[in-house]
Amino acid sequence: MTRRIPVASADLSGAEERYVLDAVRSSWISSTGAYVERFERSFAELCGTRSALGVVNGTLALHLALLTMDLRPGDEVLVPSLTYVATANTVRYCGAEPVFVDVDPDTWCIDPAKVERAVTRRTKGMIPVHLYGHPADMDPLNHVAATHGLWVVEDAAESHLARYRGRRTGSLARIGVFSFYGNKLLTSGEGGAVTLDDPALVHRARMLKGQGMDPDRRYFFPIVGYNYRMTNVAAALLCAQMERADAIVARRRAIFARYRERLAGIPGIGFQPVAPWAEPAPWLFCVTVEEKAFGRSRDGLMAVLAEAGVETRPFFIPVHRLPPYRRESAARGEELPVTDRLAASGLNLPTYNALSDDDVDLVAEAVRGARR
Ligand SMILES: Cc1ncc(COP(=O)(O)O)c(C=O)c1O
């Protein structure tokens, strides 16, 4: 039987086991503890923000960010459709409506030129997503937001340690949102964080994630809050991950460079663009398949790779095509040709620290050999 190469795999080879054991032995396993404090401090420092708050996962980090911005029923939020469904679902959690905007072919992120046209009287904010680790073009997006009095929340779930014009993602808007799911660059299995600067927003977000309790009066709840707190055990994993953040990024960058080299020149195979101002996070390596030139469709290539024991994943199905959203999107007359084209042609190749150079070569050869 051929060896199976997964699309992602967590690297827990540093101090992870020791820190988790330490948390367990200390019996600080809920949401109070030294690791939570250390994680929040270090992650804020890493992102270049004044504060970071640990939460249960990236989806709830998004929800917390939208609650903090006081998103209400009937409001609209501009989002890309080429994203993980949580970006839109959390808008719906608030009773608000996501309005989908096409992506820019040069970044695969929400297109600043198209955002302004989608603004209505009900629009309250926008959520640019740094898709597959590449930052959205934040300056023009922030400009449109300022012009129309909108807030911006960055969905940085996939872009740990990425930079936009020298600044880290997560520090480029009112609130940044991260996921630490098992396939992410930094992981705690499940986990998330919001990053922010404004002390008033930090105060509100802290209350909302802690059941709404008044920080100065125990068991007094002036607002309806939530329990979105990260555990000390998850934070212990993240503290260990962050110690190795540079090494993790370096290994993944090397994998990206090798894929690019080994896959270069295959007719019909395209790569994720990198804007001149971007330093993307090397999350999951992306390729696009142009069926005519390659001789197989994206799904055809995935099937051949699966036969060879190589696990891949297709790009996200556009959210405006999914049952909970397609009727509303069609009623607004949304047409998102770049999103549809990318979603139909893109896939992610295996990307994780323990992937060896030989594995990369094997995957690349399997892609090359699949051409007809
Ligand atoms: C763009 C994006 N937003 C939000 C999330 C949600 O994060 P989580 O899976 O931790 O809930 C993810 C995914 O994992 C994501 O890729």
Residues 176, 314 within the same domain: no
Q: In ligand 1, which atom is closest to the CA atom of 183?
A: 14
Q: Residue 9 falls within a domain, yes or no?
A: no
Q: Residue 11 falls within a domain, yes or no?
A: no
* Angle at alpha carbon of residue 184, lines to 181 and 187, rounded to 5°: 60
Residues 254, 235 within the same domain: no
pTM: 0.97
Q: How far is the CA of 232 from the centre of ligand 1 (A)?
A: 21
Q: How far is the CA of 146 from the centre of ligand 1 (A)?
A: 26
Q: In ligand 1, which atom is closest to the CA atom of 191?
A: 10
Residues 116, 252 within the same domain: no
Residues 220, 288 within the same domain: no
Query: How much is the pLDDT for 2?
Result: 65
Q: In ligand 1, which atom is closest to the CA atom of 59?
A: 11
Provide the CATH number for the domain around residue 305.
3.90.1150.10
Rg (CA), the chain: 21
Q: Residue 292 falls within a domain, yes or no?
A: yes
Provide the CATH number for the domain around residue 202.
3.40.640.10
Query: How much is the pLDDT for 161?
Result: 98
Of 228, 243, 258, the position where a domain reaches its end is 243
Residue identifier of the C-alpha nearest atom 8 of ligand 1: 58
Residues 80, 224 within the same domain: yes
Domain containing 94 equals 16-243
Residues with CB under 6 A from ligand 1: 57-59, 62, 83-84, 86-87, 129, 155, 157-158, 179, 181, 192
Q: How far is the CA of 58 from the centre of ligand 1 (A)?
A: 5
Q: How far is the CA of 351 from the centre of ligand 1 (A)?
A: 17
Residues 170, 238 within the same domain: yes
Residues 149, 93 within the same domain: yes
Residues 218, 286 within the same domain: no
What is the dihedral angle through the alpha carbons of 147, 274, 289, 369, rounded to the nearest 10 degrees?
-170
Of 194, 214, 243, the position where a domain reaches its end is 243
Q: How far is the CA of 111 from the centre of ligand 1 (A)?
A: 20
DSSP class of residue 129 equals: B
Q: Residue 2 falls within a domain, yes or no?
A: no
Q: Residue 220 falls within a domain, yes or no?
A: yes
Residue identifier of the C-alpha nearest atom 10 of ligand 1: 58
Residue identifier of the C-alpha nearest atom 7 of ligand 1: 58
How many helices (H) and strands (E) would you count in the chain? 14, 14
Q: Residue 6 falls within a domain, yes or no?
A: no
Alpha-carbon distance 187 to 52, whole Å? 16
Alpha-carbon distance 260 to 265, whole Å? 9
Q: How far is the CA of 54 from the centre of ligand 1 (A)?
A: 14
What is the dihedral angle through the alpha carbons of 349, 350, 356, 357, rounded to the nearest 10 degrees?
0
Q: In ligand 1, which atom is closest to the CA atom of 130?
A: 1
Residues 208, 250 within the same domain: no
Query: How much is the pLDDT for 30?
Result: 93
Q: How far is the CA of 247 from the centre of ligand 1 (A)?
A: 23
Q: In ligand 1, which atom is closest to the CA atom of 62?
A: 4
Q: Residue 86 falls within a domain, yes or no?
A: yes
Residues 281, 269 within the same domain: yes
Q: Residue 3 falls within a domain, yes or no?
A: no
Amino acid in position 65: A
Give the containing element (helix H, strand E) for 340: helix 337-345
Query: How much is the pLDDT for 158?
Result: 98
Regions of the chain short of the pLDDT cut 70: 1-2
Query: How much is the pLDDT for 3?
Result: 83
Residues 117, 145 within the same domain: yes
Specify the number of domains making up the chain: 2
Query: How much is the pLDDT for 67?
Result: 98
Query: How much is the pLDDT for 343?
Result: 98
Residues 287, 218 within the same domain: no
Of 243, 268, 293, the position where a domain reaches its end is 243
Per the listing, tokens 């009287």 go with 121
